Amino acid sequence: MKTHTLLMPLDMHLHLRDGVMLEQVAPLSAYTFSGAIVMPNLVPPVSTVEDVKAYKQRIMAAVPNDYFEPYMTLFYKNYDKRFLESVKDHILAIKLYPAGITTNSEGGVSSFNIEEMRPTLEAMSELGIVLCVHGETDGFVMDREAEFMSIYEMLASNFPNLKIIMEHITTKAAVDMLERYPNLYATITVHHLLLTLDDVVGGMMMPHHFCKPIAKRPEDKEALLKVALDAHPKVMFGSDSAPHPISKKEACGCAAGVFTAPIALQLLCEIFDKYGKLENLQAFVSDNAQNIYGICPEFKEIVLEEREFEVPAIYGNVVPLYGGKKIKWAIQSVE
Amino acid sequence: MKTHTLLMPLDMHLHLRDGVMLEQVAPLSAYTFSGAIVMPNLVPPVSTVEDVKAYKQRIMAAVPNDYFEPYMTLFYKNYDKRFLESVKDHILAIKLYPAGITTNSEGGVSSFNIEEMRPTLEAMSELGIVLCVHGETDGFVMDREAEFMSIYEMLASNFPNLKIIMEHITTKAAVDMLERYPNLYATITVHHLLLTLDDVVGGMMMPHHFCKPIAKRPEDKEALLKVALDAHPKVMFGSDSAPHPISKKEACGCAAGVFTAPIALQLLCEIFDKYGKLENLQAFVSDNAQNIYGICPEFKEIVLEEREFEVPAIYGNVVPLYGGKKIKWAIQSVE
């Protein structure tokens, strides 16, 4: 049987939520991942040292039996340097949301006035705090990411020493930016390597394929696949796994988010194997992130095997991507 | 109070379904419309003289108290001339579906081989039977209608005496075609004058805004609005009102279709009034269709008034567009 071993897989963009949902989903990530960057868009958002510490404790309490490192983040606001110094040892990055652009982002940035943001972003540059960005404008849904490229250009050129991560990129426009600024990096989800808008509204309307940014055109998916399969050194895996209870997905006014945490590595093996690029998966799911963020996760070894696996129809009250469907790779062992 | 009178409104593209659903929705159309072109995509499709007659009888039985003319259609297949002669007095048009492109279209045309279609289309030209077309390819969802333009060109140029209706157009590409071939006409729905893809998946995912063809880009909506508001003589109102039970809409794998029949005229008044074009609404909802199809509906007069009206949240088991929301115009009287 064909197997593939991954060391210290990292999920560089993860939503763990809080409370009962946290307890439900955190163990699923902790089972196969060494660590994950945990998004701060709780209600209210994670924005103080106390918030960060308390949230990290709640996460650790939810995953008692596995080694798992939650890399904490802060919700972007214009913070002063003194505060950033006090918080820097507790976080790996600050996550910037344009106001209202996705789940629980109402307190985000409402106008990209570079001079208002300068003190914060310069302090972050000096302190080596990474800036993670949800890069979408409030324009037409298929254009939102491409329209945001000018803001990435403004940020990247004004703050050349700031590491900026274009989160969950979905377009060829974003892929092309990787070559243009040395300080721009990107995460890519597994669902954006699999889906286009056709899978969301091309046949029936599929709520479990609905996320933000929305899956784009076939040529966009191809561009993402190319840099992911090549394990371009500036791209990392970030699942953007975003659980919502089924009552909020299979409903009028379905919430945005695809839940992939428990099947992400299996699907990645399937994709990379399909294209004959399994040898690059280690870099995509761990090594690139270690280099970009300068982190050294503790040892964890996952062996996957090529074997038909039926994705559970539901985990608790959360329907995963491909729930009830068969995929081609499965977890063999975790050490 | 501002009022507006419409004479003999016609819905040139309507799904009445069958059985219990027919009984539920047909009276809603019959209340305000003089007549409607009734789509033949039942299961099995309407494809014989007997089918047409029997379906018309069932429709008439469902609307006993109102004057309402169901203009019948046949599901397109390659029919011989003799058959078309026998059916021509019972139908106003033949509706062509690409195979599998929308609800109950599995028996449609799977390849547009012009020579195979020629005998049927020539006979239709000679007999004056109109060809109504659902113009979408099986390509990427946002490109399907634009990609179909080459098929419209092939049909329009090969059969210059055949009246061809581009049904429920959603793109600037289709609007532009109106000027290029004298025998190409179009229907436009009310929901495509109101919605873009943003209203389907730009915020939350909205199943009651999901239809085929899917709502497109803002510039497409603008192009549709322009020819509708001007009552371009080659465009007609066709609601494409397509009822599905709520259980098939608010579900994983939501069916395509927007239900507008009972609120279409009210919404059209609101739109045309907003743009100061109420004087063109009569042509858009009736006169153009009478000219294009050469039909003379019996007298019916609808008076609408500018008054806040809360759209019912549900009609039987069917949720309408804007269910539970307030719109600005209402029916005052029907004679």
Q: Could you tell me the pLDDT band of residue A57, with boundaries at 50, 70 and 90?
A: very high
Evaluate whether residue B311 is within a structural domain: no
Contact A205 B253 (CB under 8 A): yes
Evaluate whether residue B329 is within a structural domain: no
Phi, psi of B295 (to 5 degrees): -115, 155
Q: Locate all alpha helices (DSSP H) within chain A, ordered by sequence.
A: 19-32, 49-62, 81-87, 114-127, 144-158, 172-177, 197, 218-229, 246-249, 264-274, 281-282, 288-293
Query: Quick one: pLDDT at residue A251?
Result: 80
Over residues A138-193, the pLDDT tens digits come to 999 999 999 999 999 999 999 999 999 999 999 999 999 999 999 999 999 999 99
Q: Which residues of A touch B140 (CB under 8 A)?
A: 196-198, 202, 217-218
Whole-number average pLDDT of chain A: 96
Specify the pTM: 0.96
Evaluate whether residue B307 is within a structural domain: no
Query: In the numeric block, which tokens belong to residue A38?
Result: 């945990």
Contact A254 B204 (CB under 8 A): yes
Q: Could you tell me the pLDDT band of residue B111, with boundaries at 50, 70 and 90?
A: confident
CA B138 centroid distance within chain: 20
A213: cis peptide before it, omega within 30°? yes
What is the percent of chain B where pLDDT is above 70? 100
Evaluate whether residue B314 is within a structural domain: no
Number of domains chain A is built from: 1
CATH assignment of the domain containing A133 = 3.20.20.140
Evaluate whether residue A213 is within a structural domain: yes
Residue with tokens 């805004």: B209
Mutate to test the interface with A, among B205, B208, B214, B247 (most CBs of A within 10 A): B205
Query: Quick one: pLDDT at residue A107?
Result: 87
Distance from CA of A38 to the nearest CA of B (A): 23
Structural domain containing residue B133: 10-300
Yes or no: say if B225 and B193 are a contact pair by the CB < 8 Å rule: yes
Query: Quick one: pLDDT at residue A105?
Result: 87
Evaluate whether residue B318 is within a structural domain: no
Mutate to test the interface with B, among A106, A199, A201, A258 (most CBs of B within 10 A): A201
B44: cis peptide before it, omega within 30°? yes
Evaluate whether residue B261 is within a structural domain: yes
Contact A140 B202 (CB under 8 A): yes
- ipTM score above 0.90: yes
Q: Could you tell me the pLDDT band of residue B76, with boundaries at 50, 70 and 90?
A: very high
